[in-house]
A = this chain, B = another copy of it.
């Protein structure tokens, strides 16, 4: 069980402010525990302020690479945490959206939780896909052409989504499984 992601390189997004702490920390630990190496990628390097329950300041974490330094080609998989302000912030950054779109174009697995799917709406990659999210995003996802379902964890051809921090155990188990499988050609076909 412990080394199924050995040798894999994974990117996790971190907004300058407002990423939900537990949705950053727990998935990062899950893939590292499975042997992956992880880069924290963001808009600017340096310390980023996470939040707990959206409005209470959490710990700070370091952004290691900026979007201008990396591309989806450098990684095997991507994790997009939520946090209302953080997810809104990332979707507003063209380089972030372009980076996310690259994983879909290259058929690489992606795990997204809570408000994270706003970035997928912005990248125009939800059309024809089935996914979940924090419930307030369901209209945006349907209007973007996706099918929204209310389930703990949803897997659709390499795209793994969950609703909120309460789903993290199931989300983390599933991203490790999907990331270990590698490329999903259906992911690319729909991008």
Copies, count: 2
User: Residue-by-residue, is A15-54 near B (CB-CB < 8 Å gives 1, otherwise 0)?
Assistant: 0011000000000000000000000000000000101001
- Interface contact B85-A54, CB-CB below 8 Å: yes
Q: Which residues on the B side are within 8 Å of A88 (C-beta)?
A: 84, 115, 136
Write out the residue numbers on chain B whose beta carbons fall within 8 Å of the beta carbon of A144: 139, 143
Q: How many residues on the A side are at the interface (Cβ–Cβ under 8 A)?
A: 23
- Nearest CB of B to A127, in Å: 10
Q: Is A140 an interface residue (CB 8 A)?
A: yes
Rounded to whole angstroms, the CA-CA distance of A51 and B57 in the bound complex is 13
Q: Is A121 an interface residue (CB 8 A)?
A: yes
Q: A55-B57, A55-B85, A118-B136 are in contact. List 6 more A-B contacts (CB 8 A).
A: A17-B54, A17-B55, A51-B55, A85-B85, A92-B136, A121-B139
